Structure 1
Amino acid sequence: MRPWNLLDLDKALRDSWAADTCSPSDFTGIAWQPGNPAWGHCDITALIVHDIFGGDLVVGEVHQDGQPQGFHWWNRLPNGVELDLTREQFQHGQVITAARVVERPPGPLPHRWEEYLLLRVRVMQHLGPLPEPV
């Protein structure tokens, strides 16, 4: 296995995000588009980052024009650094509030398991084997 860096991981994720891994219920009214590839991928991206680095999963509420729009996920690494590889998806003035740490559910995810597995496979095609889910 060759060593890789955070730029490699970021590129592998960006090359792997697609309509078939986007959350269909993430936010209403905006569909996934190649021009905004991070859209609808925050949850499963945060899980893959968690698989690799551990740390905490962080979730916040997304609001636009004062109205709730859903949730956004990112990571807090073991050293305390917050890493959000999908933040740029918010291009229409959305605001993230009420951030909190959540525990990763054990075993297969109750939602989006197939999309998570598909994204993992695509990322591994770029990087090689990933650590098993924590």
Structure 2
Amino acid sequence: MTPWNLLVLDEGLRASWAADTCSPDDLARAGWQPGNPAWGHCDITALVVNDIFGGDLMVGEVHLDGEQHGFHWWNRLPSGVELDLTREQFQQGQTVTAARVVERPPGPLRRWDEYLLLRERVVKHLGHLPEPAV
């Protein structure tokens, strides 16, 4: 097995994001586009990163022009470093506030099929991943 680095993980995720793994809420609201591949992928990306590194799942509120527009997910690694591989999706001046740690949801998730599809695509780029934490 070839050692990974964060660049290889990032490249594997970017190559795996697509309209069929985008959150249906985000797909309907703004539409996924190849020019903004991270759009609508924060939740399942954070779960894949959590599968690999463990640590905490973080969630915050997304605001634009004073109105809340959903939530954003990212990771806090066991070292305490926060890692957000999808933050770039916010290209219209959105802000993320009220960050908090959340427990990983047990069992199949609301977006289980998309999560598994994303994992499958990332495995094609990186090779074996740790088993999902269910």
TM-score range, shorter chain: over 0.9
CA RMSD of aligned residues (A): 1.0
Greater fraction of residues in helix: 2
TM-score normalised to the size of structure 2? Answer: 0.96
Structural mapping, 1:110-121, within 5 Å: 111-121=110-120
- Residue pair 2:26, 2:32 contacting (<8 A) in 1 also: no
- Does 1:127 find its partner at 2:126? yes
Q: Which residue of 1 aligns with 2:31?
A: 31
Q: Which residue of 1 aligns with 2:9?
A: 9
- Distance (whole Å) between structure 2 residues aligned to residue 105 and residue 53 of structure 1: 17
SS across alignment from 2:24: coil
TM-score normalised to the size of structure 1? Answer: 0.96
Q: Which runs of 5+ in 1 are unaligned?
A: none
Structural mapping, 1:96-115, within 5 Å: 96-109=96-109, 111-115=110-114
- Residue pair 1:27, 1:70 contacting (<8 A) in 2 also: no
**Which amino acid in 2 is paired with 1:100?**
R
- Residue pair 2:21, 2:114 contacting (<8 A) in 1 also: yes
Cα 1:27–1:19 shift into 2, 3 Å:
closer
- Does 1:49 find its partner at 2:49? yes
SS across alignment from 2:29: coil
SS across alignment from 2:68: strand
- Residue pair 2:60, 2:96 contacting (<8 A) in 1 also: yes
- Distance (whole Å) between structure 1 residues aligned to residue 41 and residue 8 of structure 2: 18
Q: Which runs of 5+ in 2 are unaligned?
A: none
